Structure 1
Amino acid sequence: MPDPALRQALATGDFIAAPGVYDLISALIADRMGFNALYVTGYGTVASSLGLPDAGLATYSEMLDRIARIVAMTKTPVIADADTGYGGLLNVRHTVRGYEKAGVTAIQLEDQEFPKKCGHTPHRRVIPTADMVRKIKVASDARSSADFLIIARTDARSGKGLDEAISRGRAYADAGADIVFVESPESEVEMAEIGRMIDKPLLANMVNGGRTPMLSADRLKQLGFAVAIFPAVGFLATAEALTRAYDDLRRHGTTTEAVPMFSFAEFNRLIGFEDVWEFERRYSETE
């Protein structure tokens, strides 16, 4: 079931900051940190599970399988990327029902043409506003709980300009979206304009190295945003750490103290070996 904590946070004005997770290790670590949401990033999930770019290559079934596993193993409310809904209106209904049944709390749907592209890469194209409005209405009608939140994302800024993106955001809000996500504004001035012009909880996408300025939660709240996702922090940090660790091993023939590592004992606790050992102590055969 969706977690009502996110809707309550929006109602009380608590800022929601969600780190990106993309596999069970990243999810288990983030789940212990006390965040009020986790964000299952499509980019990171496709990269980690398929080794491919976020370019519409992952299917609904592949994404749902990974997302459902993350939800089942964590206690924090999950926001999950659902790309374009994986097809037309019937696909959107199927996707919403599947994500909600899996225990996701908020689903992100975007107005790109299929196949979609990562929101901070070039050459994105969007479908007509009216088509996305219908998708949002279908998504809203398909959910069984009001605590299951619909995030409507527009990628119109890069190809059609800020005014078009804001117009779309307002239309998606009117269609029933709980949260509006204008992708890749390119300055604080643009972000402030989005905050002024759209009367709905707003989501900011804080991509390290992306097109949008990296801002603190406090600053984003001042600009009128209610939610921030940090999708790349996990997989970029992991890629850097693995590169350093593997290079250290290659150069020295063993690992050295130059590369800090999680302790093996702590990692065993993270993934639940203590429960396995307790089970074995309790139920092991005795003479």
Structure 2
Amino acid sequence: MLYTKRTDAEVRRAFRARLASGELLRLPGAFNPLSARLIERRGFDGVYVSGAVLSAELGLPDIGLTTLTEVAGRTRQITRVTDLPTLADADTGFGEPMNVARTVQELEDAGLAGLHIEDQVNPKRCGHLDGKQVVDAASAMRRVRAAVDARRDPDFLIMARTDVRAVEGLEATVERARQLVDAGADAVFPEALRTLEEFARVRAAVDVPILANMTEFGKSELFTVDQLRDVGVNIVIWPVSLLRLAMGAADRGLHTLLDQGSLTSRLDEMQHRRELYDLVDYEGYSHFDSSVFDFRLEGD
């Protein structure tokens, strides 16, 4: 109902245990709290919060314009409504090592199970755009060390993302991944890998969980969960997929309104009011306090 049933610490411990098991965890990207609750309802393993999605929601390109305050606020809204572990994109940590440290503590307070810090130059670019630049290994490692030192809950996952593949190639990515693990990263996110063999190469190089980003229209082929599991991937995210689906449906609906003057022809594509009310748990609020909610739909 109002809040989740498990504490942040319980969620983090459970997330770490599942990662340690070696199974592959599926984390679709939520574009708001309601979509996070739907992800949980459908039986996924966790929720992902994408920086690209948060930027897009604000009508901004994903080029480092969002702030720590905006990310912390949205992640807190999402973790409040789901018992699933939530992993968030923390860009470059919103600055240099001292900023990274503050970012970790703010997002820890927001209830996340973990975050990832990347090795791009500030301001960053979307991971599947051309023209990215990365910092040197020493700078990347300082960011990771700052993140690890700043966390207060040892179960809070510090993941290191590397964008080196698009800049220097696969072998440099493998070496950077090893360096990030040496700096204390609990997991590695090699961005924009192109083949299953490349994922397998990174998997063989490090002894921590690795993440695969299956974003549409990007550099990576859209591999299936089974394919990624077979090469040892531990987490797969679909960061922007739900937003793309929702915006595509919204655009088609607006076209229909212009052409037909009503949405009668699209009613069967909509989430019914009853489904929405069930998802936001009207009934739970009614049981909690009938003075808050005392109305029922009759014959609808």
Task: Tell me, yes or no, whether TM beats 0.5.
Answer: yes
Cα distance change, pair 204–284 in 1 and its aligned pair in 2 (3 A): closer
Q: CA offsets, 1:190-220, max 9 Å, x none?
A: 2222222233211111111111111122211
Match of 1:227 in 2: 235
User: What is the rounded CA distance, in whole Å, between the counterparts of 1:154 and 1:11 in structure 2?
Assistant: 22
Q: Which runs of 5+ in 2 are unaligned?
A: 1-7, 295-300
**Percent same amino acid at aligned positions?**
36
The DSSP-based 3-state class of the residue aligned with 2:283 is helix
Within-5 A mapping of 1:1-287:
1-2=8-9, 3=11, 4-48=13-57, 50-258=58-266, 260-278=269-287, 281-282=290-291
Q: For 1:238 and 1:202, how far apart are their aligned partners in 2?
A: 28
Q: Tell me the TM-score normalised to structure 2 length.
A: 0.90
Q: Secondary structure at the match of 1:61?
A: helix
TM-score (norm 1): 0.94
1:125-146 deviation digits (Å, cap 9, x = unpaired)? 0011111111111111111122
Q: SS at the partner of 2:61?
A: coil
Query: In structure 1, what is the Cα distance between the partners aligned to 2:208 and 2:85?
Result: 20
Distance 1:15 1:240 in 2: 29
Equivalent residues of 1:248, 1:256 under 8 A apart? no
Select between 114-123 and 21-30 the one with higher mean Cα deviation. Answer: 21-30
Using a 3 Å threshold, how does the CA distance of structure 1 residues 253 and 160 change in structure 2: closer, same or farther? same
Residue type at the aligned position of 1:177: A
Q: Which runs of 5+ in 1 are unaligned?
A: none
Count of residues in Structure 1 that have an aligned counterpart in Structure 2: 284
Please, what is the CA RMSD of the aligned residues? 1.8
Shift of 1:232: 1.6
Deviation string 1:130-182 (CA, Å, 9 cap, x unpaired) is: 11111111111111122100110000111111111111011001111111111
Q: From the superposition, tell whether residues 282 and 42 of structure 1 become closer, same or farther in structure 2 (CA, over 3 Å).
A: same
